[in-house]
Copies of this chain bind each other. A is one copy, B any other.
Amino acid sequence: MKALTYHGPGRRTWGDVPDPVIQDAEDAIVRVDAVTICGTDLHILKGDVPEVTDGRVLGHEAVGTVVQTGAAVRTLKEGDRVLVSCISACGRCAYCRTATYGQCTGGGGWILGHLIDGTQAEYVRTPFADNSLHRLPAGVSDETALLLADILPTSYEVGVRKGQVEPGDTVAVVGAGPIGLAAITTARLYSPARIIAVDLAPSRLDAAKRAGADIALTSAEATEEAVRALSRDGRGVDVAIEAVGVPETFELCTRVVRPGGRVANVGVHGKPATLHLEDLWIRDVTITTGLVDTSSTPLLLDMVAAGRLDVSELVTHRFGLDEMQEAYDVFADAGANGALKVALFRT
């Protein structure tokens, strides 16, 4: 089959690799009908994720069709249309037993396109299929479902839920890329009074407003004073969601949050930040980090199927599966071409 493989920093190939086969009784083989590229894939290509070895098929998000199941797979069968979650779950370890699948110690967690071959291919082997694939309701399109493989549950679980967004809250979302936009969309499920979006790019701020932000500030405008001035009584925001992954944006979050507020980090960071404990020790602040568990995926699927979550603006570019290299080029240069998520479809 065709697949996108990694060959060291900066080197990716779209070419022939062997078809995946069932290796374990709990595996399923899924034909990929739609796939996307994640910011994390770009990190891998920069060489930032040394566990990814030469020849690895990348990708951890897909929608597809089950073509084969291992002997122990119980809830899925050939022909089922499924969402391939970015997180696999052994279902047996202490973390899986508390629905913390992202931290699975039994062989799951984030493995696809990382420790085993991933989804940017015509077929993918998915371990622990019963606990890692989600059957799709009829009314949800491939393109919409694709956004539930990683980006929506990540924003919702790691940003909105860990940030404990409540009705009436003022919420700052710092970063209006795909994760930030999805955080705005899912934060609205809890009816905050006001969402303030911050980004460098005016085009992303426009998208933030369409996604439901009440106020959009450029990074230059988003001083501590300006953000606080937009909060109740000027005390600071109730929740600040970091959706970029650099020290400056994280530190902005810790400065604009009110006493008693929450900072929910969603961004993938490559270097340390400074934590101003000399100011924060007295301020009753809660800071959270996290990898998605995809425990909310069934809920989000229901919400999307019921028309209660509109994610139609997140996919900006569409390709055929064999246009993988072009899709990477577009996505890697998102700033220049306004790309949010790219989607590739089996043709």
Residues of A within 8 A of B (CB): 25-26, 71-72, 74-75, 91-92, 94-95, 97-100, 102-103, 105-106, 130-131, 162, 167-168, 188-191, 193-194, 232-233, 235, 245, 247, 250, 259-260, 265, 267-278, 280-291, 295, 298-300, 302-303, 306, 308
Contacts and interface: CB of A to CB of B under 8 A. Distances in A.
Nearest to A306: B193
B278 A270 contact: yes
Which of A71, A269, A277, A300: most chain B CB closer than 10 A?
A277
Given A92-B131, A97-B295, A272-B274, A167 B190 contact: yes
A193 B286 contact: no
Contact of A95 (B103, B260, B287): B260
21 contacts: A26-B72, A75-B106, A91-B131, A92-B130, A97-B99, A100-B259, A103-B260, A105-B233, A168-B303, A189-B191, A250-B275, A267-B281, A270-B278, A272-B275, A272-B277, A273-B275, A277-B289, A281-B289, A282-B289, A283-B289, A285-B290
A240 to B, nearest CB: 14
- Majority SS of interface residues in chain A? loop
Which of A72, A250, A283: most chain B CB closer than 10 A?
A72
Closest 10 CB pairs of A and B: A269-B277, A72-B72, A189-B191, A275-B275, A168-B299, A167-B189, A287-B287, A284-B290, A103-B259, A91-B91
Contact of A291 (B92, B99, B282): B282
Which of A270, A275, A283, A298: most chain B CB closer than 10 A?
A275
A276 B267 CA distance: 13
A105 B260 CA distance: 13
Given A267-B281, A270-B278, A271-B277, 9 more contacts: A26-B72, A91-B91, A105-B233, A189-B190, A250-B277, A272-B275, A272-B277, A273-B277, A285-B288
Given A190-B189, A275-B272, A284 B103 contact: yes
